[in-house]
Structure 1
Amino acid sequence: MHSTSTTSIFNNPKLFVEGWYWALPSKKLKIGKVKAVKLLGRNLAIYRGASGQVIAVDAYCPHMGAHLAEGKVEGEGIRCFFHNWKYDERGICVEVPSLGKPLPVCIKTWSTAEKYGMIWVWVGEDKPSKLPFVPELENVEFDYILGTRFVKNCHPNVLLINAIDAHHFNTVHNLPLEIVFDSQNLNSNAITFSNITRGGDDSWLIRLIRPLYRNEVTYSMCYWYGNTGTVTLGPDFLHFYIIFALRMLEDGKTEGQTILVTRKRNGFLGWSVNRVLLWLTQQVGNYFAKGDTQVFQTIQFDLKIPIKADQSILQFIQHVNQQKALTWKTWETVDSPISSASLFEHEQH
């Protein structure tokens, strides 16, 4: 049984899920500036118009193929450097200087949004769905800082399952607690996995921190579009939130950006407390990431022998394979790949 079938989306270097993908930090794009961005194999020109709105367009001018990131921003539009053709924020040609009038041509535009200090691009032809968010903070104001940016030698899907690989918490991180996850679909594009067990009473560490928890140890992971994960963990009185925003590179590798988030607290004292909490959040994330780094530089993932502890991983694989698939570089829609429901039919050892 091969969980990495070429006809599935999961761990496929040629397919990915339609959805929101991070492009670049907001602070890297000033008003009136344009950046060249290669996203999921496709070249884009992303610029910020005079109003502050971010516009993403296909990179190449339809006249002779000049890269529009070589041009300049004018108002809400962009003008090609080569022959000065101008396109508005809808991608419509509004000026051809050599003709004195526009031509009925346009460039493809893509929906954008800004959140967590990042510019996100909606990749797909469907109407954009919700941006990734931390379920506990859906309707709450928050502070954030950008954490580590990294590259891993494995597929984003494989990197994300690390957070729900229940057994590795014991083997790699020496956590004296059995982790069992309950999964729930937040919506058609997002799935959450939450720890539902207490246990660990034979461990002095668990007994020490037990008073900090009313029920089970708080740990949950919410996956969005198969490429972004939000982690919630910590004692009842203080939860830490970490976002792992990932995107696929050539040959199925991963480029990622961590984002540290906390509830907004008012006033200077609240701001100061949040700086400390965000720093602590980053240390928590670094602790868990450090132990796994070497694995994701050498792994060749293929779940041939799933066991009971891998149930959540199998559920995530199924969730990803049920999403709408697009092709690398062209971003064209493909027929729905095979369901991985058959994974559950495999005898668990």
Structure 2
Amino acid sequence: MNLAQSQPAQPQQNQLQHPANPAEPQASTFNHPDRFIQGWYWVMPSRPLKCGQVQPVTILGRDLAVYRTAAGQVAIVDAYCPHMGAHLAEGCVDDEGLRCFFHNWRFDSQGVCTDIPYLGHALPIRITTWPVVEHYGLIWVWTGDAPPPPPPFVPELENVVWDVALGKPFVHNCHPNVLMVNAIDAHHFNTVHNFPIEIVFKNEVVNESAIMFSNTTRGGDESWLVRLIQPFYQHEGTYSMCYSYGSTGTVTLGPDFLHFYIVFALRLGPDGTTEGQPIFVTQRRSGVSGWLFNRVVLWLTQQVGNYFAKGDTKIFQTIKFDLKTPLKADQSILQFMHHVEGQQALQYGSWEAVTA
């Protein structure tokens, strides 16, 4: 909320152009139950996966095996052995590779077959591996063929060391794209959360896969709440939402002296549902006092996230999103839909590129 400016910001040159017909664009990817955007997606928390362990996971409809090598590196491979189709998560980690339980074929972390005990040598066979990073306390997988960029991050904390806490994973009965637009649904801040000010967003295209929305207006001076917090907002607004791949959103909010950062890591689940993992982030502070302060900040961040989620959660269990009657207040939602439609879509399950 920007309590220092009295006029809405003028459109910037890097803003997306609003479609001529406010009901456009016709979505071919947005909210499609079998499509998602090529990108980084959360897999599981990092800490439970110890060296020498392998876990089966199903992500975006694809069966995978995730393991941590003896040196501590995480690898992700397609789940089924090319010999007879045994699930590789039934096997064991062998130094820096993975051995199938069924016939002890060994594959290294790049998916190359390095040993077949029955033959006494390897065959020129490999299994598909996927780029993987550990970031914000989670294991993330890159789903596309293009070279992977850095995973989603909090813009204000891009170049600093951070602390994180993970919230409780959740499942909602709607597509991740629909869940994402909630944070830029300007009017619902008034109707659901009872905010006494008008919310107007400006957008900034960060890159082809990321877009940021920030609130630009002030108001509500007749409200005791606004008068109470106004001294803490002296400069630019402190509510923004940065979206990556249409499914991961980073919220930045709070008074000028202490911003709260919440990352909503989402992925498409079966039948167009959402599998989500909240992440609470803060800048790491040194010393024992800094560690204790960060525990308090992360706890407060979680309470802020819970407050906003509490009012909306029931909607996501019953909503059948269909924006037939867009209003001026829905401008940011239309811009987000347009941004999603401009990215490379993949097919749920196969992860193959959608070309039409």
Say yes or no: TM over 0.5.
yes
SS in 2 for 1:277: helix
Over 3 Å counting, the alpha-carbon distance change for 1:294 and 1:111 in structure 2 is same
Deviation at 1:254, TM superposition (A): 0.5
- Report the TM-score, using the length of structure 1 for normalisation: 0.94
Is 1:45–2:71 an aligned residue pair?
A: no
- Corresponding residue number in structure 1 for 2:263: 243
Residue 254 of structure 1, aligned match among 267, 274, 293? 274
Partner deviation per Cα, 1:137-190 (whole Å, 9 max, x = no partner): 111111111112111011100001100000000000000011110100111111
- Corresponding residue number in structure 2 for 1:231: 251
Is 1:204–2:224 an aligned residue pair?
A: yes
How many residue pairs get matched?
A: 335
- Corresponding residue number in structure 2 for 1:99: 119
Is the deviation greater in 12-21 or in 215-224? 215-224
- The residue type equivalent to 1:253 in the other structure is T
Deviation at 1:249, TM superposition (A): 0.5
Mapping 1:228-307, distance limit 5 Å: 228-307=248-327
Q: Any unmatched runs of 5+ in structure 2?
A: 1-21
- Alpha-carbon RMSD: 1.2
Over 3 Å counting, the alpha-carbon distance change for 1:270 and 1:71 in structure 2 is same
Of the two structures, which has the highest relative contact order with CA contacts closer than 8 Å and spacing of 6 or more?
A: 2
Is 1:138–2:158 an aligned residue pair?
A: yes
Q: 2:87, 2:167 → 1: CA distance?
A: 31
Is 1:12–2:15 an aligned residue pair?
A: no
- Corresponding residue number in structure 1 for 2:4: none
Mapping 1:1-349, distance limit 5 Å: 8-215=28-235, 217-335=237-355
Deviation at 1:215, TM superposition (A): 3.5
Q: Any unmatched runs of 5+ in structure 1?
A: 338-349
Partner deviation per Cα, 1:318-342 (whole Å, 9 max, x = no partner): 111101111010111111x5xxxxx
- The residue type equivalent to 1:72 in the other structure is C
| Percentage of matched positions with identical amino acids | 64
Deviation at 1:8, TM superposition (A): 1.2
Q: 1:119, 1:314 → 2: CA distance?
A: 31
SS in 2 for 1:198: coil
Q: 2:74, 2:235 → 1: CA distance?
A: 44
Q: 1:215, 1:206 → 2: CA distance?
A: 15
Is the deviation greater in 63-72 or in 124-133? 124-133
SS in 1 for 2:167: strand
- The residue type equivalent to 1:307 in the other structure is L
SS in 1 for 2:221: coil
Q: 2:167, 2:255 → 1: CA distance?
A: 22
- The residue type equivalent to 1:151 in the other structure is V
- The residue type equivalent to 1:113 in the other structure is V
